Structure 1
């Protein structure tokens, strides 16, 4: 549902055919602006009703789960739908799982009643409790959607689109409603802020769909990886970087150009390789890529990068740190390892490195080396966990 702003509740309703999809940000903003904010008293009244209906809903879920666990035929029906007894146990503790179980029960009511006909009123009670809880949850959601937008604005420009940030923030808001207990004495908006920020931070960490890696780099690493694995089978050992380079028959100049020029945004889902049969994420983020492939890829431009460092980075300590980080005269070193060498913290080394790299970016781009520097840092982070 890329580009649509949907709450967890909305997504469920769409699956059931109940809600129209939101078509644009402008429509969305117009819609949420029409909902008045809640006064502290109104918020408290809804929160009290939410707690009451949530408890009622959970009680109905637990009652039905206990019945299911004692009835082999009901358990068989459950398993036919791809669920297990473990799902039942989780539904007692997790409201999302409880909702999934209630949806299953309501959807399969007739089949359940054929197995045991004394659950009619119990299932009806479950359905009513769920509907009332959803009613009050929707009111709380709609009254706080502007809060999500205000936080989402602060997280833009970090790899996730504004609509997707709003959607993720809305999911955080939904989780906050499910967890909120008015008896703690806080305003709901104060409580929800933490959940919204957590959801936004998680979205930036986990859901950025693109990275600044040149398309040609993806193809190059794919090709070198295939060659490396073939040589390993043939030689019965790990091939050397020189053997891979010789087998690849790619002039160093061509590899330099491939690594240095293209700056397209590449999706993790982009098919790469000659047959376009492998998503980039399947190998670019895979720590099992043969180390020699990295070595071949990175060795090509070390001389150019060193010359650039010597021209731009005047501080001896900054120069040494970048030299160690980029492995210009040997293996690459982690922030922690460099910190130990200089007797300072990992964070201090990171700050020095960041300051030096900022000065390095513009001239690196002018010389067509920016792609190399980005690739180098990215590969280092994927190749060895201790590099962070």
Structure 2
């Protein structure tokens, strides 16, 4: 599984979903037998063929429904100003759980189960991201920023924590911008002129360096 947006396949019919689910189940059992979890008289070649078919069925189910994960993640990202890449990753994990947990014998469509598990993952990720943002602001405890023409030239009305000076300019500026009450990833990216991937790399470095500097000053 990957964080990139996979190409979606055509939507599946109810019968196709059931056939894929049965093939996935057979593949899981075959792999368990190959791993020695239980004894079976089935030929080795048959078990290996079942595992391959199960993997292919899993991928087809994934491709047909990954668009739902991306749609729900994007909706949460836009509504709450949270990093879309992080949310897409969590939504895809929810989709993977749904594929493994869906019981086609209950008569419900797979999309119902997928919606539940994806939404659950997104709600958990949303709480964690909000907590991280609040903890970051509380740890930095920065006063309101005064905007300038360039994000790198942001200055403070009051003196920032001493440990903040130990950070490189870009990392320090990012933390200062994120400390604002109205900060959102999209707004900060625009102020710094960063792509989404560059923003996440800078954010990771800033968090790591900030944690080290903060602990050293404590």
Q: 1:40 offset after TM fit, Å? A: 1.6
Partner of 1:130: 51
Q: CA deviation at 1:205?
A: 2.2
Larger radius of gyration: 1
In structure 1, the partner of 2:61 is 140
Would the alpha carbon gap of residues 176 and 279 (structure 1) be closer, same or farther in structure 2, given more than 3 Å must change?
Answer: farther
Is 1:214–1:263's contact at 8 Å kept on the other side of the alignment?
A: no
Any conservation in 2 of the 1:271–1:278 contact (CA below 8 Å)?
no
Residue deviations 1:22-43 (CA, integer Å, cap 9, x gap): 4xxxxx37x22xx211122222
**Is the Cα contact below 8 Å between 2:26 and 2:51 reproduced in 1?**
no
**Higher relative contact order, chain-length normalized (CA < 8 Å, sep 6+):** 2
Structure 1 residues 277 and 263, CA gap change in structure 2 (3 angstroms)? closer
Q: How much is the aligned-residue C-alpha RMSD, in angstroms?
A: 3.8
Query: Which of residues 177, 181, 184 is equivalent to 1:264?
Result: 177
How far the C-alpha of 1:47 sits from its partner, in A, is: 1.8
1:166 to 88, 93, 116: 88
In structure 2, relative to structure 1, the CA distance for the partners of 1:50 and 1:214 (3 Å cut) is: closer
Secondary structure of residue in 2 paired with 1:155: helix
Q: Tell me if structure 1 keeps the 8 A contact 2:30–2:48.
A: no
What SS class does the counterpart of residue 116 from structure 2 fall into? helix
Give the Cα separation in 1 of the matches to 2:17 and 2:56.
14
* Compared CA separation, residues 129 and 269, structure 1 to 2 (3 A): farther
- TM-score norm. by structure 1 comes to 0.35
Residue 107 (structure 2) aligns with: 185
Question: Which deviates more, 140-149 or 163-172?
Answer: 163-172
Query: Number of paired residues?
Result: 161
Q: TM-score, normalised by structure 2?
A: 0.58
CA 1:126–1:168 in 2, change beyond 3 Å: closer, same or farther? Answer: farther
What is the distance in 2 between the residues matched to 1:193 and 1:279? Answer: 45
Q: Is the 8 A contact 1:168 1:199 kept in 2?
A: yes
